[in-house]
Every structure is written in structure tokens, then in C-alpha cells.
Structure 1
Amino acid sequence: MFEAIVLAEVVATIFYTLLGLVLLGICWKLIEWITPFSLRQEIEEDQNLAIAVLIGCLFIAVSILIAAVILS
């Protein structure tokens, strides 16, 4: 019985991890679509540190929101 509980928890953890990553990827695509310029070009080629920090903070905020929704 203990193995069944542990297996169910592992499967649920893997499922919710993948769900969170997919939702984070969708948010990234949505942000890319909304902005009038290429975020990848600004961060990689132009090395715009301000946009990189902003996107990093945005990812943290979206990750917290996704975790709160999954846990509720």
C-alpha cells in the first residue's frame, strides 16, 4: 500500500511539473507575440540587461501564479 501512495505522488509530481512548464512556455509565447520587437534579439544580440531582468522577474511571477493555481 505504501508503494501505491508513493507511486501516485511521483506520477502527480511529474504531471504537475510538466503542466507548469507547458503553461510557462505558453506565457513566453504570449509575451513574445504581444511585444512589438523580438525579445530574443534584444536579449541575445543587443544584450539589453533591463529586458532580461524584466523577463526574469516576469517568469518568477508567472511561476508563482501557476504554482498557486495548481496547489489550490
Structure 2
Amino acid sequence: MDLEWLKPSAFFGSILYALIGVVVFLVCFIVVDKITPYDLWAEIVEKHNVALAIVVGAMSLGISIIVAAAVHG
């Protein structure tokens, strides 16, 4: 059984790439929130706009897949 993933360099490298991925995702989400003509949070939570919630969820998954592919190489 090889414990290559348990070495400090691999472990901290994984943590660093995960943090970079989360930061890139948050920046992309904030950009999308700013370019939409209305407040996404108020529209989804207060007005219960289910269609917008589905679109935002799909957009979040898409950005996550792109970020994961970019980080993975």
C-alpha cells in the first residue's frame, strides 16, 4: 500500500489547489452576480424564484467543473 498522498508536499499542494479553486469560483460567482440586473439572493430567497435558483445552481456546477478541470490540468 503506497501512501504517496500522505506526504506533506502532496497534502499541502492539494490544500493549496483546493483553496485556489474555491477563490476562483467565488470570484466568478461574484462577477455573475454583479452583471445580472437584479439581486440574486433576494430574488431566490425572498421571492422564491425556483427557476432562477435552478439556473444559478447549473451555473455554479458549470463554473465548478471548469475550475476543477483547470486546476487538475
> Same fold by TM-score, threshold 0.5 exceeded?
yes
Corresponding position of 2:20: 19
Task: Quote the Cα distance in structure 1 between the aligned partners of 2:60 and 2:10.
Answer: 26
Alpha-carbon distance between aligned partners in 1 of 2:52 and 2:10, rounded to the nearest angstrom: 38
- Residue number in structure 1 paired with 2:59: 58
TM-score by structure 1 length?
0.89
Uncovered stretches (5+) of structure 1, i.e. residues with no partner = none
Quick one: distance in 2 between partners of 1:10 and 1:47? 41
Q: Which runs of 5+ in 2 are unaligned?
A: none
What fraction of aligned residue pairs are identical, expressed as a percent? Answer: 31
2:8 matched to which residue of 1?
Answer: 7
Q: RMSD value over aligned CA atoms?
A: 1.6
Where do 1:33-52 residues align within 5 Å? 33-52=34-53
Q: Give the alignment's TM-score, normalised by structure 2.
A: 0.88
